[in-house]
Amino acid sequence: MALSGTVARVDAEPDEAQRLATEARDRVRFEEDALALSDQVYRVARHLASSREDADELMQETYARAFRSWRSFTPGTNMRAWLLRILTNLNIDRGRRQQRAPQMQPLEANDYFLYDRLAESGDGDSDEDRVVERLSQDDIVTALSVVPHDFRDVLVLVDLGDFSYADTAQILDIPVGTVMSRLHRGRRILKRELAESALEEAT
């Protein structure tokens, strides 16, 4: 591995000194660009991880690795996706996958059930915006954390990170078709959890 943080020696050849200066400038620029994306990366990382503490650790490991291997980033490509690919790999390496219990219980047959249930359970007000406000913010955070990891990874990257299906497929190293089916299922699981918590509160 090439040594980073190379010192520009006084006795270096002019060409070599020039090269080192260019490299140092590129690296600093890379670091600045990566840090400027940290809020956006965190928004996704927070929910890929199981807790805030895990997310904070993952972010630090991700940035440490990114800064060490900055040369493997191709300028002009999607840096946010590159950072999240490192992050999801680290997350998998932490053995998180071992705890995974594939959730294969049957889901509601249609995609409209959450709205239908919320609209029914209210006082007859079916205005979409007010119906959605019957869900508490805490319930949403809890419901999202209950979605099994495989589905949540996709859900979080697409719906919170605004990644395309293709970018998501690349980040997670899975086929686009799998992204679509997991996204579909993940959204259904989330809505089922939301419907359950909303019904519990109504009773």
Partner 1 sequence: MTDPCAHCEQMMQPYLDHVLTDEEMNQAEAHLAECVDCRRRYKFEESLRIYVRQAVNEPMSVELRQKLAALRIPLD
- Decide if residue 59 touches partner 1 (CB under 8 A): yes
Q: Kindly indicate which of the ranges 5-13, 76-84, 88-96, 195-203 contains the residues binding partner 1, using the contact rule CB under 8 A.
A: 5-13
| Contact of 32 with 70, CB cutoff 8 Å | no
Options 31, 33, 108, 196; binder of partner 1; rule CB under 8 A: 31
- Decide if residue 141 touches partner 1 (CB under 8 A): yes
- Give the nearer residue to partner 1 in terms of CB position, either 31 or 85: 31
- Give the nearer residue to partner 1 in terms of CB position, either 98 or 159: 159
Q: Kindly indicate which of the ranges 58-66, 72-80, 94-102, 195-203 contains the residues binding partner 1, using the contact rule CB under 8 A.
A: 58-66
DSSP state of 2: P
Structure tokens at 153: 């990874």
- Decide if residue 33 touches partner 1 (CB under 8 A): no
- Give the nearer residue to partner 1 in terms of CB position, either 84 or 158: 158
d(CA 124, CA 10) in angstroms, rounded, equals 79
d(CA 128, CA 2) in angstroms, rounded, equals 57
d(CA 153, CA 185) in angstroms, rounded, equals 12
- Give the nearer residue to partner 1 in terms of CB position, either 52 or 75: 52
Binders of partner 1: how many residues, by CB under 8 A? Answer: 50
Options 12, 17, 135, 174; binder of partner 1; rule CB under 8 A: 135
- Decide if residue 115 touches partner 1 (CB under 8 A): yes
d(CA 106, CA 102) in angstroms, rounded, equals 12
d(CA 167, CA 176) in angstroms, rounded, equals 9
Structure tokens at 52: 């805030």
Q: Find all residues with CB under 8 Å of 136, minimum gap 6, and list them.
A: 197, 201
